[in-house]
């Protein structure tokens, strides 16, 4: 009974209901199948966000591990389909893929990550991370000319640019963060901290990269329970 009530609150309930009724089945008969469908959609959503936001790979081994998890879920879903005489491809095209593209499912995930990023930028961890990496010339390939004598201005500048990047990304996860129509706002930030144009361009590149790394890290954290669930149950 609890599952029946919960599934009716799902953003895709109408499509799920139509799928079930079309095959003359009851909701209780496909509970296990829908469980696997939801898991597969979760991995596809994670991949979709990562690709659309052009995020860096934090843990390369997770790519292969996620592929293995998806293959495992695919085999289980195939079994569930055969047990119920349902076409595997029908489940993918009518349930899995639409669920993975459903904005009502994706948006709350993004909002959760944006909330985590909001909290990060005011934390000590943010300052520690910035101060540790902002002049990592091996990573950036360049150096900030006046950073040594103006560390606080540069930190506040990169902090504000991080928040600017976050605000720019919120409307669309697929937005190219390198391009913007907000030149006036960026110039105001530059003047506010008195940073030379050349250094400001370098600082903005750092802020965007810090944002992407943090975004990718939190994306992994949000989907960690799903990975753990697959590993432990299957």
> 159-173 pLDDT, tens per residue?
999 999 999 888 777
Task: List Cβ neighbours of 158 (8 Å cut-off, separation of 6 or more).
Answer: 130, 134, 203, 206, 207, 210
pLDDT tens sequence across 177-228: 666 667 889 999 999 999 999 999 999 999 999 999 999 999 999 999 999 9
Tokens of 62: 């997770």
In degrees to the nearest 10, what's the CA dihedral of 180, 54, 104, 38? Answer: 180
pLDDT band at 85 (very low <50, low <70, confident <90, very high): very high
pLDDT given at position 26:
87
| In contact, 91 and 33? CB cutoff 8 Å | yes
Q: What is the mean pLDDT of the chain?
A: 92
Report how far apart, in Å, the C-alpha atoms of 127 and of each of 45, 111, 131 are: 31, 23, 6
For residue 28, what is the DSSP state?
G
pLDDT given at position 171:
76
pTM of the predicted model as reported, rounded to 2 decimal places: 0.89
pLDDT given at position 178:
67
């Amino acid at each position: 009974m609890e599952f029946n009530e919960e599934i009716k609150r799902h953003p895709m309930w109408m499509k799920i209901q139509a799928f079930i009724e079309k095959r003359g089945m009851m909701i209780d008969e496909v509970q296990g199948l829908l469980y696997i469908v939801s898991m597969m959609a979760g991995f596809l959503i994670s991949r979709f966000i990562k690709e659309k936001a052009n995020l860096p790979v934090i843990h390369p081994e997770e790519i292969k591990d996620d592929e293995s998890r998806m293959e495992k879920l695919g085999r289980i879903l195939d079994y569930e389909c055969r047990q119920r005489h349902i076409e595997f491809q029908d489940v993918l095209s009518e349930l899995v893929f639409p669920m993975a593209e459903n904005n009502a499912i994706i948006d709350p995930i993004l909002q959760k990550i944006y909330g985590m990023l909001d909290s990060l930028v005011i934390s000590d961890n943010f300052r520690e991370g910035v101060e540790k990496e902002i002049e990592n010339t091996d990573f950036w390939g360049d150096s900030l000319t006046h950073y040594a004598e103006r560390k606080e201005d540069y930190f506040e500048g990169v902090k504000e640019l991080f928040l600017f990047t976050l605000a720019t990304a919120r409307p669309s996860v697929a937005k190219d963060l390198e391009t913007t129509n907000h030149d006036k706002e960026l110039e105001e930030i530059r003047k506010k901290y008195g940073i030379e144009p050349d250094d400001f361009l370098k600082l903005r590149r750092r802020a965007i990269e810090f944002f992407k790394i943090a975004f990718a890290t939190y994306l992994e954290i949000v989907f960690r329970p799903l990975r753990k669930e697959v590993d432990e149950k299957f």
